[in-house]
Amino acid sequence: MTVPRDFQEPARCRPDLVIGRDDLFGQAREQLARGGSVLLHGPAGIGKSTVLRALTAQSGEAARTVLRCSATESESHLPFLALADLFGLVLDDVSDKLPAAQRTALESALTGRGESTLQRDGLALRLAVLSALRALAAEGPVLVVADDMQWLDPASTELLGFAARRLGDIPVRMLCAVRTEGPEYDRHLRALPPDSLAVRFNPLTRVQVSALLEHRGYTGLQRSTVRDIHRTSGGNPFYALELGRALTENPTPPRPGEPLPVPTSLRALVLSRLEMLSEEARRTLLVASAGARPTPALLHAAGRTNAEAETAQAAALGLLATEGEGPAVRFAHPLISAALYAEAPAQDRRDAHRALSTAASDPIERARHLALATTGTDPEVAARLAEAAALSRDRGAPSVAASLGLLAARHTPAGSVPDPDVRRLEAAEDAITAGELDLARDIARDVLTRATVPADRVRAWIIVIDTAGHAMTEVDAVFPQALADAGDDPRLLALIRYQLAWRALLVEGDFDEARAEAARSAALAARGQDRYNELMALSFQAQIETLMGHPDAPATIKRALKEPQDPRVACHHNGAGYSRFRWLIMSDQLPEARATVTALLREVRRRGSVESEVHFLRGVAETELRSGHCGRALDLSREALMMARDTGIGEVASAVLSSLTEASGGNVDRALELAREAVEHAEDNGDQMYESRALAALGYAQLVAGDAAGTVRSLRRVRELEQGLGITDPARGRWQGDLAEALVRIGETGEAQDVIDVTRANALRLGRESVLAVLDRAEALVRAARGDHEAALDRLTSVQDRLAKLGYGLEEARAAFALAQLRSRRAGPTSYEEAARLFRRCRALPWLRHVEAAALARPAEPVITPAASALDGLEGLASMERQVAALVMEGATNREIAGRLFISVKTVEATLTRVYRKLGIRSRVDIVRLAAGRRT
């Protein structure tokens, strides 16, 4: 189909396309050349699309991939159409590079098919878009071009904004154009990367309009006529060109002072074009203007049997163009479609929507058209819209679900079940999921003005509370009103008490009150037979008790894990499974903790619950760190931090854990940076719980960095915070041994012993064996500082063995290092080899550098040979015994030795017993010492 020249997209950039826009064009071009992004904004027809096409032609040459999308008003209600434009042609190129859950989410969004439950929280899809852009950028620069952003569907706009805010230094540029009548472009900037350049398009001057008209071939116009065109068009180049066209086509030019032969609005201009169409062709165009992404097939299905001939006629008049790369029928300019639709009589518009309500293939589109074809209330229409809202929710488009839910409420008759307000509340909950908190709050407040049913009122109050986020003090006045509305209903009271538990924890920092409120919520939910909220409250109670070191924590966890379970709670990050993991890891049951959290992570990845995935990734990383697998912990924590920053979930917690793993197995400077960042954010949020965690991470990083005084300052503040919060379980933060060690380093042995004594009492009460071992290591340093070296040596030797048996590899290595340092103060040989071997096994590179520095600082010692009888015994071992001893020297565990020698673990244990007897030693450590002495 031929398209008039005025509406054709140019094959290359021509000078006339940017007449009067040289400065703006230059600014935008330079911004793109620097790797930045640009937003072009201004009123309709002002020339944004023209400049956008010219910039795309130039800047696109430097990009390996150019992704394009453009929408119309009729498409804006359907989720993911813009996303399909952008990624439809490159999906096959990137899908293999996405994690399974993200790939499924993206494919489901683009096709409308797939396992919709994977997108319920929308996060998997958000991450999929971000990952797809990263994958494309890995192959070369990417340019994303979006015209008419005001018509992009909200779901696609939100996804673009989510990705744009997290691209960082990735070579992805965005070039977008949006229609604005004033300076209100800020909200559109949120869909672009930070520091994007906003370029405002103002009306052309009379001289520029004259140059534009002449360039386009509208020559010979009198100066007064050009002045009238400029005034009538308002300096809008699109209007000016249309007026110039109409004047040249008019056989009788206007006399001086006579008005131009066309009205000033585009609607009238469109109508003058429409007069040249047949009545049936006008009806076909109206159906096309009402539809989303209309095609000839859709028009046929809507009863327009001569759609091809009628659209061809419209295209010949410059009203319509057909895309070359697909069957979709598009208007030459969105204003034409808007003007056509607005001018049509209301009944004609309803008829068009009624035809499309059966012709459209997408159930969401069908429901929307049915609503627009219906006046007044209609229970069937309301039900169809509610189903469409649920489908949008499952597809991961909560914003669309909210708008459809409000439409459903509008068409729901009063007194129906569910009634209109129930559907409004569902829409409000969808709005919260979509991040439209103001809309959700407004809906809830509106419902509260007339709702009389207690369940509806409490549900609305909960929405108001949820929209406050962590700023729960702002809704303090809500709680008494909600409690009054709940009356004696245990189900409703349970909901409010659960929120009060969170308030006690987040606002007051009162663990006792939070625990009491959670317990009340669980009891009330049980009375009301609300198993879901009972399990959530019990799980929250268990988490609080675990943090408090409360003796009832194991029993509460068991209650939360009793059948019947609710699948929504089983893998929730505030559910009982995660509470059990926290209890296991604090109780030194590392293998069980690892198995529990790994299973949880595997399940949430299958389900596509990204929010819980962030939490469980941190749990696995923490378990690996405690077990001494620093390299693995570092990789997992970095992944968790990236996901947290991508999603905005748990950023402080993820930064804290990443700081710990960086200090243990990565970059100490990075660890300090992350910890300070976490402290700052926690302080800004007034979150004392995570402020203490962040300060504990900072203190540990300072200890590894050699800043003992800084460690003491940070960890003293942690002690003050936790005393104020009522936290007594030393396994929560495990900072007490680091504080005591740092105090010894700065000569404060008295305070160090006080820290050890107080912490030991709590650790003994709770049975925290690993904490007790670390405290004994710190006490050995206190004794050594006071001159009792023999007692210190004996204590450190015992500590190393205990930590090895508990499976705390990094702490075991730190004990070996302390033992070597203590021996270096005495005359005689000192070997740092065992500490170095253990740190290497943990991949604890920062600690290994400390060992190497200590070994280099030690003066050369005379060669000392171990007792001849011991060496003779080593040489006299049987073949199997020598092999087992050699593998022990390499740091292999009994299980690893059994696997390598194809024998059982019991055989390894029996062989080691014989080795100990023959060599006159007592442990694996003594074998390593003999070997070290022999190598010396």
DSSP per position, 278-343: -HHHHHHHHHHHHSSS--HHHHHHTT-TTHHHHHHHHHHTTSEEE-TTSS-EEESSHHHHHHHHHH
Cis check: omega of the bond before 564, within 30 degrees of 0? yes
pLDDT, tens digit, for every residue of 770-813? 999 999 999 999 999 988 888 999 999 999 999 999 999 999 99
CA geometry: angle at 853 spanning 847 and 854, to 5°? 90
Pairing assessment for the beta strands 320-322 and 329-331 based on DSSP bridges: antiparallel
Q: pLDDT class for 248, splitting at 50, 70, 90?
A: confident
User: Within its chain, how far is the Cα of 541 from the centroid?
Assistant: 27
Nearest Cα to Cα of residue 293 among 483, 76, 556, 550:
76
The pLDDT of residue 299 is above 60 = yes
Q: Which two tokens stand for residue 729?
A: 């379980």
The DSSP annotation for 436-462 comes to -HHHHHHHHHHHHTT---HHHHHHHHH
Q: How many CB atoms lie within 10 A of CB 125?
A: 29
356, 292 contact by CB (below 8 A): no
Cα–Cα distances in angstroms (integers) from residue 655 to residues 470, 681, 773, in the given order: 19, 10, 27
What does residue 176 show for φ and ψ, rounded to 5 degrees? -130, 155
* Cα–Cα distance, 265 to 335 (Å, whole number): 11
Which amino acid, residue 330? R
What was the pLDDT predicted at 274?
74
Cα–Cα distances in angstroms (integers) from residue 760 to residues 430, 706, 729, 763, 800, in the given order: 49, 26, 10, 5, 18
- Specify the residue for token string 């705390």: 808
68, 49 contact by CB (below 8 A): no
* Cα–Cα distance, 782 to 440 (Å, whole number): 59
* Cα–Cα distance, 620 to 598 (Å, whole number): 6
Q: Which of 406-415, 793-802, 852-861 has the lowest mean pLDDT?
A: 852-861
* Cα–Cα distance, 586 to 729 (Å, whole number): 9
What was the pLDDT predicted at 75?
73
Q: Which two tokens stand for residue 482?
A: 């909600």
Q: Is the pTM of this model over 0.85?
A: no
Q: In terms of pLDDT, which residue wins out, 44 or 782?
A: 782
What was the pLDDT predicted at 322?
53
Q: Which of 22-31, 266-275, 500-509, 550-559 has the lowest mean pLDDT?
A: 266-275
Q: Which two tokens stand for residue 341?
A: 């639709």
Indicate the burial class of 181 (C-beta count within 10 angstroms; 0-12, 13-18, 19 or more): exposed
Q: Which of 191-200, 316-325, 351-360, 402-411 has the lowest mean pLDDT?
A: 316-325
Cis check: omega of the bond before 418, within 30 degrees of 0? yes
Q: Which two tokens stand for residue 60?
A: 């696109």
Q: Which of 331-340, 483-492, 629-638, 651-660 has the lowest mean pLDDT?
A: 331-340
CB contact set of 898 (below 8 Å; sequence gap of 6+): 904, 905, 907, 908
pLDDT, tens digit, for every residue of 78-94? 888 888 889 988 888 89
505, 472 contact by CB (below 8 A): no
Helix (H) or strand (E) holding 411: helix 398-411
702, 523 contact by CB (below 8 A): no
Q: What is the Cα gyration radius of the chain?
A: 36
Q: pLDDT class for 537, splitting at 50, 70, 90?
A: very high
- Specify the residue for token string 């020339």: 47
What was the pLDDT predicted at 809?
95
* Cα–Cα distance, 200 to 187 (Å, whole number): 14
Helices and strands: H and E segment counts in the chain: 49, 7
Average pLDDT of the chain to the nearest whole number: 83
Q: pLDDT class for 873, splitting at 50, 70, 90?
A: low
DSSP 573: T
* Cα–Cα distance, 77 to 157 (Å, whole number): 12
* Cα–Cα distance, 624 to 617 (Å, whole number): 11
What's the CA dihedral at 437, 443, 445, 446 to 10 degrees? 160
If you average pLDDT over each of 266-280, 390-404, 794-808, which comes out highest?
A: 794-808
Q: Which two tokens stand for residue 379?
A: 């229970």
pLDDT, tens digit, for every residue of 460-481? 999 999 887 666 777 889 999 9
The pLDDT of residue 826 is above 70 = no
Q: How many CB atoms lie within 10 A of CB 96?
A: 8
The pLDDT of residue 866 is above 50 = no
Helix (H) or strand (E) holding 136: helix 123-139
* Cα–Cα distance, 422 to 406 (Å, whole number): 10
The pLDDT of residue 927 is above 80 = no
Cα–Cα distances in angstroms (integers) from residue 574 to residues 510, 535, 537, 558, 579, in the given order: 19, 10, 9, 15, 7
With a pLDDT cut of 90, the percent of the chain lying above it is: 38
- At residue 152, the 3 state secondary structure works out as coil
Q: pLDDT class for 3, splitting at 50, 70, 90?
A: very low
Query: Which residues, in sequence order, are bridge partners of residue 177?
Result: 40
The pLDDT of residue 383 is above 70 = yes
The pLDDT of residue 12 is above 50 = no
- Specify the residue for token string 């709680």: 479
The pLDDT of residue 142 is above 90 = yes
- Total residues belonging to the chain: 936
Mark out the alpha helices in 182-306 (DSSP H runs).
186-189, 206-215, 223-233, 237-249, 266-274, 279-290, 296-301
Helix (H) or strand (E) holding 344: none
- At residue 354, the 3 state secondary structure works out as helix
243, 229 contact by CB (below 8 A): yes
Q: Which two tokens stand for residue 535?
A: 């399990």
What was the pLDDT predicted at 894?
80
* Cα–Cα distance, 216 to 222 (Å, whole number): 16
Q: How many CB atoms lie within 10 A of CB 284?
A: 30
What was the pLDDT predicted at 869?
43
Where are any strands of DSSP class E within 498-560? none
Q: How many CB atoms lie within 10 A of CB 20?
A: 20
Q: In terms of pLDDT, which residue wins out, 700 or 248?
A: 700
